[in-house]
Amino acid sequence: MGKIILGDNLEVLRKLGDSTVDLVYIDPPFNTGKRQQRIRMKTIRDETAGDRFGFQGKRYRTIRLGLSGYDDCFDDFLEHIEPRFIETKRVLKHNGSFFFHIDYREVHYCKVLLDQIFGRDAFINEIIWAYDYGARSKTKWPAKHDTILWYAKDPDSYTFNFEEMDRIPYMAPGLVGKEKAARGKTPTDVWWHTIVSPNGKEKTGYATQKPLGVLERIVKVHSKPGDILLDYYAGSGTLGEAAAKLRRDFILVDNSPEAFEIMTKRLAVYKPECISGLLSKQEQI
């Protein structure tokens, strides 16, 4: 069961009941002050006029389909996000968790605000998602990570399925023996994971799409089959796909018609029962 809602996320949050959601993950605009956009394009085989080369030297011609994106700028980001944090705590179940995905520009201010709303003892982990892709600055250390803050509504009682955690390779497998090396190790609070490949099958064309592997790790470890998961800055719907694959229910909210269209198309590949209804801005939850 799942719902994709086109509308204002604060209005939607205020209509949700108290203690009704098991896990909330959000990846809001990072307040970069820029327009986030991505060129949508496709390539076709063209041995005479191709502008790029592929496997075995075959030539391909690029066709530009258009731009997608949004303006990532707030006069006061904390004023914008605070009422949404308050509603997040209200809708979470007693053993629910909140994962807040942000970058270096706002994370320090947001953590202070979250400590005030959830309580400092509710802060469990600062997770660093590290990647190695994109331009290299020549005037400072290139920023190649995002931060995910994990808060538990009740720090003494939350879902953490250790056995569901994926394993990663040892950096020095020769030091741990063949058996351990073959099994791999459990991740730490630094997650090395590539971004969504610009040319990969996972790509939806949404400007700030996050990797499915990162969201699947959160969903597997911090929820159970049948739980209700919420993302109210849903964008391309990655949390929804992770939930559908792992037999969780989901509520996805975004005020962008483009995001709504992408999510609907993306999740339609799953069984029809994964999506019980698509609600417009005017309809009730």
Residue 163 has a pLDDT of 96
Residue 53 has a pLDDT of 54
Residue 48 has a pLDDT of 73
Same domain, yes or no: 94 and 227:
yes
Same domain, yes or no: 8 and 25:
yes
Tally of domains within the chain: 2
Mean pLDDT by 10 residues, the chain (285 residues): 93 97 92 44 66 58 50 71 97 98 94 98 98 89 95 98 96 92 96 89 87 97 98 97 96 95 91 51 42
Q: For residue 197, give its domain range.
A: 2-33+73-279
Residue 236 has a pLDDT of 94
Query: Rounded to two decimals, what is the model's pTM?
Result: 0.81
Q: For residue 284, tell me if it sits in a domain.
A: no
d(CA 269, CA 254): 20
Same domain, yes or no: 96 and 24:
yes
Q: Is 10 exposed, middle or buried (0-12, 13-18, 19+ CB in 10 A)?
A: middle
Same domain, yes or no: 19 and 57:
no
Residue 284 has a pLDDT of 40
Same domain, yes or no: 122 and 55:
no
- Phi/psi at 94 (5° precision): -60, -30
Same domain, yes or no: 58 and 129:
no
> What is the per-residue DSSP string for the chain?
-EEEEES-HHHHHHHSPTT-EEEEEE------SEEEEEEEEEEEE-TTT-SEE-GGG-EEEEEEEEEEEEEE--S-HHHHHHHHHHHHHHHEEEEEEEEEEE-TTTHHHHHHHHHHHH-GGGEEEEEEEE---S---SSS----EEEEEEEESSTTS----GGG---B--SSGGGT-HHHHHH-B---SEEE-PPPPTTSTT--S-TTPPPHHHHHHHHHHH--TT-EEEESS-TT-HHHHHHHHTT-EEEEEES-HHHHHHHHHHHTTS-GGG--EEE-TTS--
Residue 75 has a pLDDT of 67
Residue 133 has a pLDDT of 83
| Angle (CA) 230 232 235, round 5° | 110
Same domain, yes or no: 90 and 9:
yes
d(CA 33, CA 171): 38
Same domain, yes or no: 77 and 109:
yes
Same domain, yes or no: 130 and 253:
yes
